[in-house]
Amino acid sequence: MGAGLNLSPLYGRAPSDQRVYDEAPVAKGQRISMVGAMTSAGMKTALNFEGTMTGLVFLYFLKHFLCPLLAEGDYVVMDNASVHKVDEIKDLIQRLCHRKVWNFI
């Protein structure tokens, strides 16, 4: 999940006899992204970073944030986002985290 900090609203509100004025950004702006893991008890861990999510960033999150926190009997369930399809991800989880991996198609 991410957010572009250079976005402006498409709609605005004003009294019926007045025009809506707003400023639109001209610079490209920065992008803030977040990846996290949650359980039925709530958030387990999260990583916020500047930039766009890539397979390498997701591998870093798994290795340094998620795998150290997994307990006996935990499963890793991922959707079919393209960053989850990097070849090394399933292997890393099974090798380092010793956990089963489930992917939704």
Task: Say if residue 79's pLDDT is above 90.
Answer: no
Residue 35 burial class via C-beta count within 10 angstroms: exposed 0-12, middle 13-18, buried 19 and up: buried
- Which amino acid would we find at residue 13? R
- pLDDT at res. 6: 67
Give CA 101 to chain center in angstroms: 18
- pLDDT at res. 82: 83
Question: What SS3 class is residue 94?
Answer: helix
Domain count, the chain: 1
CATH code for position 71: 3.30.420.10
More confident position, 21 or 24: 21
More confident position, 48 or 72: 48
CA angle (47 as vertex; 45, 49 as ends), nearest 5: 175
For the full predicted model, state whether its pTM sits above 0.75. no
Which domain covers residue 33, as residue numbers? 2-103
Token duo for residue 78: 């991922």
